[in-house]
Structure formats: structure tokens, C-alpha cells
Amino acid sequence: MNSEVSERTQQQAGVTEYDPDTQAVTIRLTWDAYQEFGWQQFSKTIRHELVHAWQYWRFNEADHVETFARWTDPLDIAQHCQQFT
């Protein structure tokens, strides 16, 4: 069995991954971040990652620029997720 530790996942509350071959979008959320942030802040992380999922569905790529920025105010989210310890 191989085991990997992702520094990105350890510091980010969530990440959205895209497989261009299958067009599958996977959102990974971190339980430790939920416990640290609580529901109110963590729900913003979920909305943030859903915007990335939409970007992949619509554009086959995701970023934090123009197509993301239009969603920050309506969804009450930041362009970058808050890191946790």
C-alpha cells in the first residue's frame, strides 16, 4: 500500500480536481478545517470549490481571476480559501 501526504490538502480546507480524460470533477474537503472553522466559514469553502467545479464544467479549466471573481460577492466568498493550521 502506498501512502501520500499532500501539503496542499494539509493547508487548504478544500481543493477541486479535474480529470480532462473523463471530465470528472472531484471536490476534496478537509475535515480538520471544518472542525477549526465551524460551519459558517466552512460553507464558504464549499461554495468556493463549487465555483471551481463550475469553471471546469464550463471552461475545462479553473482559476481565481475573471470567471471566478464574478461570484465572490453574490456567494459571499473570497477569491482564495482561508488556510488552516
Domain membership of residue 26 as a residue range: 7-75
CA distance 45 to 62: 15
Any domain includes 1: no
Any domain includes 27: yes
Q: Specify the pLDDT at position 1.
A: 34
Any domain includes 30: yes
Q: Could you tell me which residues come within 8 angstroms of residue 41 by beta carbon, excluding any fewer than 6 positions away?
A: 82
Any domain includes 20: yes
Taking CA atoms, 39 is separated from 1, 11, 17, 83, in Å, by 34, 18, 23, 15
| pLDDT tens by residue, 22-43 | 999 999 998 888 999 999 999 9
Q: Report, in this order, helix, strand and coil percent for the chain, each rounded to 5.
A: 50, 15, 35
**Phi (first) and psi of residue 71, to 5 degrees:** -95, -10
The tens-digit pLDDT sequence of the chain (85 residues) is: 333 444 555 578 889 999 999 999 999 998 888 999 999 999 999 999 999 999 999 999 999 998 999 999 999 998 887 777 6
Number of domains observed in the structure of the chain: 1
Any domain includes 55: yes
